[in-house]
Amino acid sequence: MEFLSFISRMRILVLILSAFGLVSCTDKSKPNIELIQDMMEQPAVKAQKEEKFFKNGISELVPPENTVPVGFKPYKFKADPEAAGLKNLNPLQGRLDEETLAVGKKFFETNCAVCHGYSGKGDGPISSKYPTKIPALVSDKVRNWKDGSIYHVITMGQGQMGPYASHVPQKYRWQVVNYIRKIQQETK
């Protein structure tokens, strides 16, 4: 054996290792042989698995009451659309640059155009089938609204229209407002 060169020894090692590999490939019903198990056996909670560590045994934790994710601002005007219009000021007021509008357009066309129409005239693809009349967003009424009021309708909905807070993330909502302003400008 001692005559075996280094190369030959490496060859034998590779053969043995590949045999392991082959064995583990043949029977798919059993887990593979884990040579290094560091990542398999770990104390981390597994998704969708019962976890006795928690009182109710549920591993998916919900955020503690009265907490918000980092970077999220609670919406202060939930029950007060009037205050929303007057006090919720648009940090992007009047910004109609390419970047702002591109973001606004993306969210508008994904979430709003189906009803309100691509140019905001209330004539979106499903508008004729909708049980009530879809209002235009290029109307004098919405033109005269404050930005905060449009933001409010996106966040909370209005009458027949449900809220779109979960569809249009907070940080992109003002861009949608600005995009509506842009299509208002384009519609004489």
Rule CB under 6 A: which residues touch ligand HEC?
A: 111-112, 114-116, 132, 134-135, 137, 139, 141-142, 150, 153-154, 158-161, 164, 168, 176
Which is nearest to 178 in space by CA: 87, 104, 117, 99?
Answer: 104
- For the bound state, the minimum distance from the C-beta of residue 70 to ligand HEC, rounded and expressed in Å, comes to 24
Rounded CA gap, 8 and 78, in Å? Answer: 75
- For the bound state, the minimum distance from the C-beta of residue 64 to ligand HEC, rounded and expressed in Å, comes to 30
CA 50, 53, 59, 62 dihedral sign is positive
| Beta carbons within 10 angstroms of residue 31's beta carbon | 9
- For the bound state, the minimum distance from the C-beta of residue 101 to ligand HEC, rounded and expressed in Å, comes to 14
Residue nearest to ligand HEC (CB): 159
* Residue closer to ligand HEC, measured from CB, 49 or 171: 171
Give the CA distances from residue 159 to residues 149, 156, 162, 166, in Å, rounded to whole numbers and listed in that order: 14, 10, 8, 18
* Residue closer to ligand HEC, measured from CB, 84 or 176: 176
* Residue closer to ligand HEC, measured from CB, 21 or 157: 157
C-beta separation of 124 from 167 below 8 A? no
- For the bound state, the minimum distance from the C-beta of residue 66 to ligand HEC, rounded and expressed in Å, comes to 28
**How many angstroms from the chain centroid is the CA of residue 15?**
48
* Residue closer to ligand HEC, measured from CB, 6 or 122: 122
